[in-house]
Structure 1
């Protein structure tokens, strides 16, 4: 559900926030979750079920598993679009339930679909790069998460895992900068994908500490969710989804039209 009044083509204004603002976003995300827990739990349960199914299906095919999780982590913010809509409805004092979520997805917004395809392509690129890097440096091949832990993460000779982390960070950083504000913005306003991405970048560049801290919070909580055999995702996904909406509201100035 986007606003139907197009905004001017001038760049959207972004604001600077306190470096520790990420904690406020998290608190507000929890508050929104408690206001509409049934919607949040449904999103979180769907994420946990997907993760559990991927783990069961591809346990002995590590790169298939890595691809599934990488794709989910990148496309996850898009799947949280319904949570953004619920947070927006709560701010406006409107009805916030499954009908709010349905209205967003029933619109079949092409901009969100385009952005989802872009994130999927980027995720595929990382999986291919990661697989090539580990395959060239580890013999025999890594086939299970246990192999990856023992022969890459806990390898007696350091180097490969550190390189893998650096390459992953270099590839993930621009994806985060492009999407942290863009998806809630696309849901909320009638702007093009390019304009949304550029606004997201400008918000990150104007607030490197606050958005960097937010990236760390998202990564740590997501890893905790994955590390609890996906059960943690039942809470992590909705709270982060609602919190991301509040990050967008703080970082992008609401234009009057």
Structure 2
């Protein structure tokens, strides 16, 4: 029998909706924990590997971190498939998720390449800004903390954060609905991205709050030596499916 929470009807999107998406994501994780926790484990191990390989090289670490943030949403497509099945009263395992990944869906591949280009652009722009603005060369992560983060004067670090936000905003607007839609419907990438932008533009308040919650969750995951990602990754993945359902339905009505 389908769970009443996960199969609940789509509701109007308000500022309360992101909290509801988290609750629905948690319900999905509890109903079918194995695929979600395995996703969390894989992404956590991938993040640990990247941090270990780039631990003493700041720019390599910055590139690895960007790559990590890019790979995570693509891997989360498996979680969308799990939530979609749960909404239909079914429980699927990693076999179905693996089948999705092995399908070689060209749309997901192209979308992943676009995200990779966005991540590369962020690293290059970040490197140019820090190299131009820092009084001393930045070679190691501690150099960045000493000479950029911990300086008393306002300026470079704040500009760096603003640049990151400006570059992250269009990526978020392009993906928040588009990635789940590519799993759910046979639509072209351009249509999915356009739909995603319309959803964000139609609901700027809830979309901004949802982005902030994702950023806070990512920060918590990093602050816990990535261990928090074991649960946060599947939670956000499942919740993102419910965000997609509500936001895309709202756009479809307009």
How far did residue 16 of structure 1 move? 5.4
Match of 2:236 among 230, 234, 240: 240
Aligned to 2:141: 145
Structure 1 residue runs of 5 or longer lacking an equivalent are: 1-14
Match of 1:208 among 204, 209, 232: 204
Instruction: Say which structure, 1 or 2, has more relative contact order (CA 8 Å, 6+ apart).
Output: 1
Q: Which 10-residue stretch deviates more, 104-113 or 182-191?
A: 104-113
Kept in 1: contact 2:51–2:64 (CA 8 A): no
Structure 2 residue runs of 5 or longer lacking an equivalent are: 1-10
TM-score calculated relative to the size of structure 1: 0.90
How far did residue 243 of structure 1 move? 0.5
Give, in whole Å, the separation in 2 of the partners of 1:127 and 1:160.
16
Deviations 1:95-141 (A, max 9, x none): 32112212211211100000000000000000010011111111432
Kept in 2: contact 1:40–1:83 (CA 8 A): yes
Aligned to 1:7: none
Alignment of 1:85-104 (within 5 A): 85-104=81-100
Residues 16 and 202 (structure 1), Cα distance of their counterparts in 2 relative to 1, 3 Å cut:
farther
Q: In the alignment, does 2:56 pair up with 1:77?
A: no
Give, in whole Å, the separation in 2 of the partners of 1:127 and 1:50.
19
Q: In the alignment, does 2:123 pair up with 1:122?
A: no
Kept in 2: contact 1:29–1:246 (CA 8 A): yes
Give, in whole Å, the separation in 1 of the partners of 2:215 and 2:20.
17
- Give the aligned CA root-mean-square deviation in angstroms: 1.6
Q: Which 10-residue stretch deviates more, 73-82 or 220-229?
A: 73-82
| 1:54 alignment partner, SS class | helix
Alignment of 1:30-69 (within 5 A): 30-69=26-65
Moved over 6 A (4+): none
Give, in whole Å, the separation in 2 of the partners of 1:119 and 1:252.
21
Equivalences, count:
242
Give, in whole Å, the separation in 1 of the partners of 2:94 and 2:49.
24
Deviations 1:133-192 (A, max 9, x none): 111111432222222122111112210011111111111100000000000000000100
